[in-house]
Amino acid sequence: MQMTDYHSRRLGISFASVGAHLGWVYLAGEIVYEFGQTEKEEWLRGLVSTQISDLVRNLSYMDPKALGTFSEKGRDFKINMMRLPEGEVPVFVLVVQEVEPELSKRNWEDLSNQVLTFCATGISLREKNLLDFETITDPIRKKMEKSFSGDIQSGVIAFFHLQDLSPFFKPLGVVKSQEILREVTATLHKETKEKEFNFQLNPRSYFLFCPGETLDGANQRFGSLYFPSKHLILDYKLKIFPIDREILADDSKFSSIFIENF
């Protein structure tokens, strides 16, 4: 049994143990795990999609929020959604259960542990996950492979995870918001040397590939880098990963760099 199959089953058992009629796991706004079925699936997806942005901004960790109720086949159900203490990528669990009884704090904690274990150990191995990473990463992988030649057989990937800029986007408007993102890209372009290249996975995740660079050298180069934008100095988290031909050849190791830092 593959690791992802094992944790999928464990997660299914966890949903069943709390009496869930249906359970979904959301990672960065996308459903990555489904338990159970409902005739109102499309309605339920729409209900969540209209609120997910507000939930990302305002819902506290481990604080279940009631989204509503509905009836199906003579049974009354309630919908709860909870945000998990996931770190950088928003993770939510949705539970549809009969109106009574309420789930206890211990129930939610146990379910949370299984969800986070599933996301941490299984999601990068799924054939279909948050994004089609094979489509995204294959061209990047091939470009990296071409960079390794002669004496250059290793390098680093520097990952820059910017602060959440969404609070600025609405008051600034589309044009000004795009200017902020362009300035971030311009800063990275200035830092990119010949034979290096940078790429972006989303408005907060930027990568810079540096063939021939060492971990110490990258830390010295990027440790004091800052992103000026208008009247702001954008905050960010920096992670640096060593990379060589062995990592490029291992689908799991290579993909995990991106999906774990999306």
Domain match, 166 and 236 both: yes
Counting Cα atoms < 13 Å in the Cβ hemisphere of 174 gives: 0
Distances (CA, A) of 48 to 106, 114, 160, 202: 24, 22, 30, 21
pLDDT score recorded for residue 157: 93
pLDDT along the chain (262 residues), means of 10: 60 88 86 88 91 87 92 93 77 92 87 80 44 61 88 93 73 68 83 86 81 94 82 83 91 75 59
Distances (CA, A) of 15 to 34, 54, 115, 177, 258: 10, 25, 10, 40, 28
Domain end point (choices 94, 109, 125): 125
Q: What residue numbers bound the domain in which 107 lies?
A: 3-125
Take residue 9 and report the two structure tokens written for it: 């089953």
Domain end point (choices 96, 125, 154): 125
pLDDT score recorded for residue 233: 77
pLDDT score recorded for residue 131: 42
Domain match, 121 and 147 both: no
Domain match, 205 and 223 both: yes
Domain match, 112 and 192 both: no
Q: Are 93 and 115 in contact (CB under 8 A)?
A: yes
Domain end point (choices 125, 149, 170): 125
pLDDT score recorded for residue 67: 94
pLDDT score recorded for residue 52: 87
Beta bridge pairs of residue 68: 79
pLDDT score recorded for residue 66: 93
